[in-house]
A and B are shown apart, each in its own frame.
Chain A
Amino acid sequence: MTHAIKRGFIVVLGLLVLLSLPGFLWRPQQRSEVRSHYQTLMAPVFLVPGSSATQNRFNALVKELNRETPATHSLLRVEVKTTGQLVYTGRIQPGDTRPFIVVGFQNHHDGAQNILKQAKWFALAFNALQKTYKFNHFSAMGHSNGGLVLTLFMENSLDQRAVRANRLMTIATPFNLEEDDATVDTPLFKMLEAGRQRLPRQLVVYSIAGSKTFTGDGIVPFDSVNRGKYLFQDQVKGFTQITVTGANANHADLPENQQIVALIRQDLLS
């Protein structure tokens, strides 16, 4: 009897050793495994203004977003000069895991060529910030052409092995520029469409359209915003289109529109 019981004890100890073996064998891979699923505490939210707007474009929006939230998030503004030099204003508070980073451009003019340049400049700023703050995931919001800058960046310049894009919100972004004729594809749209397969697979995208008249928000034609679906649908994890009407639904007022502020809170920051 005693003998049998002692044997049971030994068997369980032996079982413990046996079950531990895979752990010992796996341990050399552990570090790379942990690293590959590691998410930094910090995940900044990038805000990119549209053409003719500077890095100060979103000051009021950030103030509004910081109202009613328990912890206020800091605001860092970066201006990329045409030479590629970066000028910082504001700062990221230590311990802030969701800071807002606004990236503006010295050359903030409209036009396909300028937008392509801005996307390159954005990548420059992004890489510098990523090196400084060592985040490995982020979200982004672009107003108007800012959404084009972000989409181009994600297609062409984002190193998806190092950094993961969580969510993207575009507000009144003209994926077919200001082209009124729905049958005409602009060269920029063709370029975006050709690169759509390089978009991050796990990205969740929200595209918001303002509707002042039945055809657009006064500046951007609705059809041009609507073209986002040809880029994101079936390419990213989720794509949601939202149309906002009512007061402050014209193009320039959209970022301060209360409905859109609520959408940013709900879909981008939650």
Chain B
Amino acid sequence: MTAVGVSDVQITTSRLGTALVALEVNCQRNRQVAAIRQALRLIFPIILLGSLADFIDQAWLQRTGYFYQTLHVATWVLQLKVLRQYLRLISAGTLGLAAILMAFAVSFYLVAPVTRQATNRLMAGMTAVISLKFFNVSRPSVLGLRAIKWASANLGLQGILMGILIGLLVGNSYRWFLVRHETTGLTGPFLLMSGWLLGTTALGLLWVTTQTVSLNAAFVSAIQWPFRLPHFILGLLGYSGLTSLYAWLGVLEPITPSGQTVATAQNLEAVLNHAGWQLPHPVTLHTVVDVYANFGGTGMLLGLVLAILLVHGHTQHHAVAWLSLVPTLGNFGAPLMVGLPVMLSPILGIPFLLAPLACISVSWLCLRLAWVPAVAYPLLTGTPGPLLAFLGTGGSWTALVLGLVNLALSTAIYYPFVKWHVQAQAQTAGEVADDDPRN
């Protein structure tokens, strides 16, 4: 059914396809977007390594991990604790610094086309990093005139958007200045950099004296507010849509409050203490969104991987898909978001929003009509997407079938958009991937 639907869509909406390809090409040619995309490509290997470390730590070495439980890892892995310490350090050094790396790279790539000097480019990047840090500093240490402590929370995947914004701000102002005054020697870069830093230090101090938390923490709590509304206002679709939108903009870690809700706890209690599978709350965010619309991470990215492998053409898509495969199978979506990038791409943004919404609608209907039982058991990190519902319901085959239907549905939704994305990519190939310093 899905295959026929897809080919129909392609024939009837080729005009839509052309329009979208044009939009994507224009967007990619935009100077700001181009710099961000180059920066994302730069940090992709780092994000990939960090995601792999996170995946192994959480899915293989923790009690709530899928492979830990099913393969009885505790019985055969030696030095589990040392291994976890090692992997967590890798994760902190890669994913944990993502915002800083992005601030540097975005600023660097914005300045790169207008100056031939590596020092100016590097200085623009470093200034962005320092500016970001001025807004992420421990308040008591500054106000109490003690040794300065930098705040390192919220500089990871959640902070990528903030890193991009600071990078754009610094990079553009550097660029504006460099276009007018080509600086050479030592005085020029010194004056430019110190002008910037004196300014941002003053702003940072102003921030610290008036605000109690770091800029990144304030940003995260600001975008969290809609999630604190009562459930019925946003509903399942609203939650999913907002989460996808944030992820598409560069908040790559879920910011919704985690932890067991009362409804989830009551569901588990009902299943464990009473015979049969009667749940007091069959439809919750957990039983629908977490279980049926999160394969491969936010946005059903597992469907995107499958769609890419079905489309032929552009090899870079395939390379990214294969490289990101392991974390994506464990529902860690960050490498794919950064690698393609799905982030800030208009064409891929549409299915990224729509695929989870479609899966949620289908699953909601099935739950409402009681065709599938709702999940009650705790979910294990790293469980392959379609298996989440099967294990969550204690082995319901209909739930497994629904999971597979959702996977097929999301692949079908991604498929035409991936085709268009490949077309757009082919048109812009060679235009922006320009980091040869001789230019």
By a beta-carbon cutoff of 8 Å, the part of chain A in contact with chain B is 1-2, 5-6, 8-9, 12-13, 15-16, 19-20, 22-23, 25-27, 30-31, 33-35, 37-38, 40-41, 134
**B383 sits at the interface (CB 8 A):** yes
Some 23 contacts from A to B, beta carbons below 8 A apart, are A2-B312, A5-B309, A5-B311, A8-B309, A8-B322, A12-B305, A12-B306, A13-B306, A15-B325, A20-B386, A22-B67, A22-B70, A22-B71, A23-B383, A25-B70, A27-B390, A27-B391, A34-B268, A37-B63, A38-B268, A41-B265, A41-B266, A134-B273
A35 and B66 contact, Cβ closer than 8 Å, known pairs A2-B312, A20-B386, A23-B387: no
Q: Which chain B positions have C-beta within 8 A of A23? A: 66, 70, 383-384, 387, 390-391
Q: Name B309-326 residues within 8 Å CB distance of A.
A: 309-312, 318, 322, 325
The complex places the Cα of A13 from the Cα of B290 at a distance, in Å, of: 21
Q: Which chain B positions have C-beta within 8 A of A27? A: 390-391, 394-395
> Are B387 and A30 in contact, CB atoms less than 8 angstroms apart?
no
**B329 sits at the interface (CB 8 A):** yes
Q: Which chain B positions have C-beta within 8 A of A2? A: 312
> Are B378 and A9 in contact, CB atoms less than 8 angstroms apart?
no
A40 and B66 contact, Cβ closer than 8 Å, known pairs A1-B312, A23-B383: no
Q: Which chain B positions have C-beta within 8 A of A9? A: 306, 309-310
Q: Name B362-393 residues within 8 Å CB distance of A.
A: 377-378, 383-384, 386-387, 390-391
**B182 sits at the interface (CB 8 A):** no
> Are B272 and A38 in contact, CB atoms less than 8 angstroms apart?
yes
CB-nearest residue of chain B to A11: B309
- Number of residues from B at the complex interface, CB < 8 A: 33
Q: Which chain B positions have C-beta within 8 A of A33? A: 69
**B269 sits at the interface (CB 8 A):** yes
> Are A12 and B325 in contact, CB atoms less than 8 angstroms apart?
yes
> Are A30 and B312 in contact, CB atoms less than 8 angstroms apart?
no
A31 and B394 contact, Cβ closer than 8 Å, known pairs A15-B329, A16-B329: yes
> Are A20 and B387 in contact, CB atoms less than 8 angstroms apart?
yes
Closest Cβ of chain A: how far from B58's Cβ, in Å? 15
Interface Cβ pair total, 8 Å cutoff: 67
**B262 sits at the interface (CB 8 A):** yes
Closest Cβ of chain A: how far from B232's Cβ, in Å? 20
> Are B269 and A34 in contact, CB atoms less than 8 angstroms apart?
no
CB-nearest residue of chain B to A1: B312
The complex places the Cα of A22 from the Cα of B68 at a distance, in Å, of: 10
The complex places the Cα of A34 from the Cα of B265 at a distance, in Å, of: 12
Closest Cβ of chain B: how far from A21's Cβ, in Å? 9
The complex places the Cα of A1 from the Cα of B63 at a distance, in Å, of: 43
If A5-B311, A22-B67, A27-B395 are given as contacts, then 15 extra A-B residue pairs at C-beta distance below 8 Å, sorted by A number, are: A5-B312, A8-B309, A9-B309, A9-B310, A12-B325, A13-B306, A15-B325, A16-B384, A16-B386, A19-B329, A22-B66, A23-B70, A34-B378, A40-B269, A134-B273
Q: Mark B265-293, 1 if CB is under 8 A from A, else 0.
A: 11011001100000000000000000000
CB-nearest residue of chain B to A28: B395
CB-nearest residue of chain A to B265: A41
Q: Which chain B positions have C-beta within 8 A of A15? A: 325, 329
Closest Cβ of chain A: how far from B397's Cβ, in Å? 11
> Are B329 and A5 in contact, CB atoms less than 8 angstroms apart?
no
The complex places the Cα of A70 from the Cα of B268 at a distance, in Å, of: 26
Q: Which chain A positions have C-beta within 8 A of B391? A: 23, 27, 30
The complex places the Cα of A13 from the Cα of B384 at a distance, in Å, of: 11
> Are A20 and B384 in contact, CB atoms less than 8 angstroms apart?
yes
The complex places the Cα of A30 from the Cα of B67 at a distance, in Å, of: 13
Closest Cβ of chain A: how far from B70's Cβ, in Å? 4
The complex places the Cα of A22 from the Cα of B66 at a distance, in Å, of: 9
> Are B329 and A34 in contact, CB atoms less than 8 angstroms apart?
no
Closest Cβ of chain A: how far from B386's Cβ, in Å? 7
Closest Cβ of chain A: how far from B333's Cβ, in Å? 15
Q: Which chain B positions have C-beta within 8 A of A25? A: 70
CB-nearest residue of chain A to B377: A34
Q: Which chain A positions have C-beta within 8 A of B69? A: 26, 33
CB-CB nearest 4 A-B residue pairs: A22-B70, A26-B70, A8-B309, A9-B309
Closest Cβ of chain A: how far from B281's Cβ, in Å? 13
> Are A35 and B272 in contact, CB atoms less than 8 angstroms apart?
yes
The complex places the Cα of A15 from the Cα of B272 at a distance, in Å, of: 33
> Are B272 and A34 in contact, CB atoms less than 8 angstroms apart?
yes
CB-nearest residue of chain B to A2: B312
Closest Cβ of chain B: how far from A161's Cβ, in Å? 16
> Are B70 and A12 in contact, CB atoms less than 8 angstroms apart?
no
Q: Which chain B positions have C-beta within 8 A of A35? A: 272
Q: Which chain A positions have C-beta within 8 A of B322? A: 8
Q: Which chain A positions have C-beta within 8 A of B66? A: 22-23
The complex places the Cα of A38 from the Cα of B387 at a distance, in Å, of: 22
Closest Cβ of chain B: how far from A30's Cβ, in Å? 6
Closest Cβ of chain B: how far from A192's Cβ, in Å? 34
Closest Cβ of chain A: how far from B275's Cβ, in Å? 12
Closest Cβ of chain A: how far from B274's Cβ, in Å? 11
Q: Which chain A positions have C-beta within 8 A of B378? A: 34
The complex places the Cα of A224 from the Cα of B118 at a distance, in Å, of: 74
Residue among B71, B305, B329, B384 having the largest count of chain A Cβ atoms under 10 Å = B384
Q: Which chain A positions have C-beta within 8 A of B63? A: 37
> Are B384 and A19 in contact, CB atoms less than 8 angstroms apart?
yes
CB-nearest residue of chain B to A26: B70
Q: Which chain B positions have C-beta within 8 A of A31? A: 394
The complex places the Cα of A26 from the Cα of B380 at a distance, in Å, of: 12
CB-nearest residue of chain B to A17: B384
Residue among B273, B306, B309, B325 having the largest count of chain A Cβ atoms under 10 Å = B309
> Which of A8, A19, A41 touches B262 (beta carbons < 8 Å)?
A41
CB-nearest residue of chain B to A23: B387
The complex places the Cα of A30 from the Cα of B318 at a distance, in Å, of: 37
